[in-house]
């Protein structure tokens, strides 16, 4: 079943496979520089159980089709990074992951969230602006920053319920073309 949930430490190989499916240009946009397969292997090996969270969207076969990497910086801050499989783009998956990642971070007392992306990355610029990030442009890179409100009992409960339900985002746009190889979206029952 399609679902959205954090990956456990023993599931990082499916995150690695997702990153390896990105082509050269997507890898450059994701990591800010050219990245080969061995660098992706090293990146996944370096993930820390206590500080790195991978929030993933999984398809029916259990493959990761989109992911948010939430990297904690101390107790009060985190950096986000996103990736979506090519054939699943422009349907709102990153937007849904972004919102969920912010709610996950707020529930854990994280007060400041950062997002670094290359200045030509139109999708990330749109999304960063839409969630209210302030953007600072430094040559070819943009740094987004957002202060999160303190968690409330209600916000924590809502996030916990969302994590338990592991629901696939309900408001995705359909694919544009019938020739698209991915299956048409069916809302979760
Ligand atoms: C960037 C990326 C994560 C976006 O994923 P996505 O699921 O296609 O994004 P969404 O469908 O949620 O789109 C978000 C918004 O950006 C806009 N957008 C999407 N692709 C865009 C593009 N290439 N140029 C300009 N705007 C774009 C969408 O129109 C949408 O806005 P809307 O809802 O107002 O229409 C995906 O393209 C990707 O994985 N790229 C390679 C890796 C990367 O760049 N990672 C980011 C590093 S932090």
Instruction: Please tell me the total count of domains within the chain.
Output: 1
Domain-located, residue 173: no
Given ligand 1 and candidates 123, 140, 170, which is best to mutate, with the most ligand atoms within 8 Å of its CB? 123
What's the domain range around 119?
3-165
Domain of 10: which CATH number? 3.40.630.30
60-107 pLDDT tens trace: 999 999 999 999 999 999 999 999 999 999 999 999 999 999 999 999
Query: Ligand 1 centre from 152 Cα, in Å?
Result: 30
Q: Of all protein residues, whose CA lies closest to atom 21 belonging to ligand 1?
A: 123
pTM of the model: 0.89
In a domain, 22, yes or no: yes
Q: Which residues have C-beta atoms less than 6 Å from ligand 1? A: 26, 29-30, 81-84, 89-95, 115, 117, 121-124, 126-127
- For 14-29, the pLDDT digits (tens) are 999 999 999 999 999 9
DSSP per position, the chain: --EEEEPPGGGHHHHHHHHHHS-HHHHHHHHSS---HHHHHHHHHT--TTTEEEEEEE-TTS-EEEEEEEEEETTTEEEEEEEE-GGGTTSSHHHHHHHHHHHHHHHTT--EEEEEEETT-HHHHHHHHHTT-EEEEETTEEEEEEEPPPP-HHHHHHHHHHHHHTPPPS-PPPPS-TT-SSPPP----
């Amino acid at each position: 079943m399609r679902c959205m949930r954090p990956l456990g430490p023993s599931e990082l190989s499916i995150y690695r496979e997702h990153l390896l499916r990105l082509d050269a240009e997507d890898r450059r946009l994701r990591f800010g520089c050219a990245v080969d397969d061995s660098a992706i292997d090293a990146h996944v090996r370096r993930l820390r159980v206590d500080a790195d969270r991978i929030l993933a969207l999984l398809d029916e076969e259990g493959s990761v089709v989109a992911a948010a990497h939430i990297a904690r910086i101390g107790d009060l801050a985190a950096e986000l990074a996103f990736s979506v499989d090519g054939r699943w783009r422009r349907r709102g998956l990153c937007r849904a992951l972004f919102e969920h990642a912010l709610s996950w971070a707020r529930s854990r007392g994280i007060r400041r969230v950062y997002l670094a992306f290359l200045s030509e990355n139109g999708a990330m610029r749109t999304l960063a602006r839409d969630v209210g990030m302030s953007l600072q442009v430094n040559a070819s890179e943009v740094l987004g920053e957002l202060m999160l409100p303190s968690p409330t009992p209600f916000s924590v409960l809502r996030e916990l319920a969302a994590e338990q339900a592991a629901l696939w985002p309900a408001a995705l746009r359909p694919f544009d073309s019938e020739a698209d190889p991915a299956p048409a979206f069916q809302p979760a029952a």
